[in-house]
Amino acid sequence: MTKIEFNTLVLRQASSLRSYALHFTHDADDANDLVQDTMLKAITYYNKFKEGTNLKGWLYTIMKNTFINNYRRFVKMSTFVTKSDEISSPNLVFSSTKNQGESKFVMDDIKKALEKLPEDYYVPFTMYFEGHKYHEIADHLEIPIGTVKTRIHVARKLLKKNLKAYDNGVAKPVYAEVE
């Protein structure tokens, strides 16, 4: 098969690739970028494709691996949260409140709860929250994976205890008992 014939076959798969890319990205622009990267890699490495095998499956594998590699690269580029940083992660945009005035108090409470965590629990938890895998955290901190899992578990329990007023995502009023 010539390179031109191969390119034509790959281009015919574009719409199928686009819908598969949307499955990964949930965003049309990101999906188009992923399709473009996939097609570029396929055309660049067309000599690796074995004629007579499933082209669509080969392209889907390239796409899946490209998406995973891009995600890993994104996670590695993320910076570590330090106690002095404001908690303004995009992951926290989906707040536990709908009232913007109240959400400032919620964010302050989350920040205070994080600051209460001992350093041994704070660092693994924030790294995990940022998307790092257990083994990456263990390598970075030079501790066993089991210790990482335990520290993250304990940190979550401590945070849950310190933020119990927001149980089920709803702030509950705290009433002082009158004697």
- The per-residue pLDDT for 174 is 43
Report pLDDT digits (tens) over 117-141: 899 999 999 888 888 899 999 999 9
The pTM of the full predicted model, rounded to 2 decimals, is 0.45
The CATH class of the 3-77 domain is mainly alpha
- pLDDT band for position 179 (50/70/90)? very low
Q: Chain-centre distance of CA 50, in angstroms?
A: 34
Q: DSSP states of 88-133 as a string?
A: --GGGSS-S-S-HHHHHHHHHHHHHHHHHS-HHHHHHHHHHHTT--
Listed in order, the ranges of the chain carrying CATH 1.10.10.10 are 90-169
pLDDT band at 1 (very low <50, low <70, confident <90, very high): confident
Give tens-digit pLDDT for 22-34. 988 888 999 999 9
Average pLDDT, the chain: 80
From-to residues of CATH 1.10.1740.10 in the chain: 3-77
90-169 fold: Arc Repressor Mutant, subunit A (1.10.10)
